[in-house]
Amino acid sequence: MASDPVVQLGPDVVVGSYRIIKEIGRGGMGSVYEAMHTVLPRRAALKVMHTELRRQPGMATRMVQEAAILEDIRHGGLVRVFECNVLADHRPWIAMELVEGETLANRLHFSPKMPAAELAKLLSEVSDVLAAVHVRGIVHRDLKPDNLLLTPSDPCFPLRLIDWGVARLGPMGRLTLDGLTPGTPIYMSPEQATGKNIAAPCDIYSLGVIAYEALAGHPPFDGRTLAEVVCMHLSSEPAPLRDQCDAPAELCDLVHRMLEKDPSFRPGAIEVRQLTRTIAAEQTSSYAEYELSGIEELPTKTRPVRVRPAALAGPVVPSDEVVVVDPEALEFGVTEMVPVVRKPRWTPEIQSTLANGPASRADQGAAITPRAARDQVAGEILLKRRQ
């Protein structure tokens, strides 16, 4: 295998059923290209393992495992796999759904803190994905902002949980390289730091670290060295979240529960999903009420109005319109809501009409009524001339 010539990849190179357009990303395991199906009108993200990883045991297996996980679980928060195979130089590749969006890491880089309602919604969505994979015994093991792709305009699901290359498939599916613990130290659970009891609570802990960082503007543990950070995960308690943000107590308490050192004390993905959905709904409702409370209503006053049939008299004009007058209003009058109008500024034409009356019988229909006056104050005069 080491002597096999390396397949050179670039624009217009065909891999499987896909023609490469350009490289759009590069990660620890491989490069990602934008590609187009040679027959179907379908764009895809083509992920190809790095050449230097061919000689490392287990790396090819990890990449194939990622494709198997994404193919086996149908969830809107996971990218779809279209095709998977190996190149002539034995490097595996995956053609998967190409999703437009930005990572949470990029979002937090420009805006370190998230509103409580937005974070609660994000947690409910991530935990919904985790609930679907945890029930199958799959653990992601590398939850971090870089692996959360935000897709708010996507009709299927508002985010994608990506990079399943180091996931663990049940108790016998561990694919850890010798001397290497999967995960990112800042977001790593205590169990991952010791390499023991790797299970679903690991992902909950990592999600708790993400939530803490998004609310406080910084992760709960951040030392000068990676070893120092790992020691903090094992023995230190995070500073109270309530002192660093204005999030509701229920959300702060939930995040601290997710950061418990003992995995058995952490909530499961389903509980996190349910609690955060409730918190998000309450926060959104409170915000809407706050917004509405800022709307100032126009002052009004009421006055009784006596409507007389004579007031409705006028020239009889042939018309196809049918006007219905409530006889009860003619008999007893109505109560009219009149906006308080302060010193309206009349146009010269209206001032002349108010002072002198209509110039002729033909202009009688153009007389300014109280309704027309109010319309003028509102910025539009509605006059209906009768022929």
- Tokens representing residue 137 in the block: 């015994």
**CA pair distance 170, 328, nearest whole angstrom:** 78
Residue numbers annotated as active site: 142
Name the residue type at position 119.
Answer: L
In this prediction, residue 175 carries a pLDDT of 40
Residue 334 has pLDDT above 70, yes or no: no
**Average per-residue pLDDT for the chain:** 78
For residue 35, what is the enclosing H or E element?
Answer: strand 30-37
Quick one: which of 127, 103, 114, 136 has its CA closest to 254? 127
**CA pair distance 291, 289, nearest whole angstrom:** 5
Question: Any idea which fold 10-98 has?
Answer: Phosphorylase Kinase; domain 1 (3.30.200)
Q: Which CATH class is domain 101-290?
A: mainly alpha
Residues of the chain with CATH 1.10.510.10: 101-290
Read off the pLDDT of residues 69-114 as tens digits, 9 standing for 90 and up. Answer: 888 888 999 999 999 999 998 899 999 999 888 999 999 999 999 9
Strand ranges inside 152-230, DSSP E: 159-161, 168-169
Residue 126 has pLDDT above 50, yes or no: yes
Which residues in 28-65 are b (16+ Cβ under 10 Å) and which e? ebbbbbbbbbeeeeeebbbbbbebebbeeeebbebbbb
- Tokens representing residue 15 in the block: 């891999």
For the chain, the distance separating the N- and C-terminal CA atoms, rounded to the nearest angstrom, is: 96
- Tokens representing residue 196 in the block: 């023991």
Read off the pLDDT of residues 270-329 as tens digits, 9 standing for 90 and up. Answer: 999 999 999 999 987 755 554 444 445 445 555 555 555 544 445 544 444 444 444 444
In DSSP terms, which residues pair with 179 in a beta bridge? none
Read off the pLDDT of residues 144-184 as tens digits, 9 standing for 90 and up. Answer: 999 999 998 887 789 999 888 776 655 434 343 333 455 68
| pTM reported for the whole predicted model | 0.69
Residue 51 near residue 58, CB atoms below 8 Å: no
Higher pLDDT, 26 or 11: 11
Coil, strand, or helix at residue 146? helix
Residues of the chain with CATH 3.30.200.20: 10-98
Q: What is the DSSP string of 35-82?
A: EEESSSS-EEEEEEE-GGGTTSTTHHHHHHHHHHHHHH---TTSPPEE
Coil, strand, or helix at residue 377? helix
In DSSP terms, which residues pair with 33 in a beta bridge? 23, 46
* Number of Cα atoms under 13 Å in the Cβ half of residue 66: 29
Q: What are phi and psi of 97, to 5 degrees?
A: -55, 130
Cα separations in angstroms, 291 against 247, 286, 294? 18, 9, 5
Name the residue type at position 15.
Answer: V
- Tokens representing residue 93 in the block: 């590749």
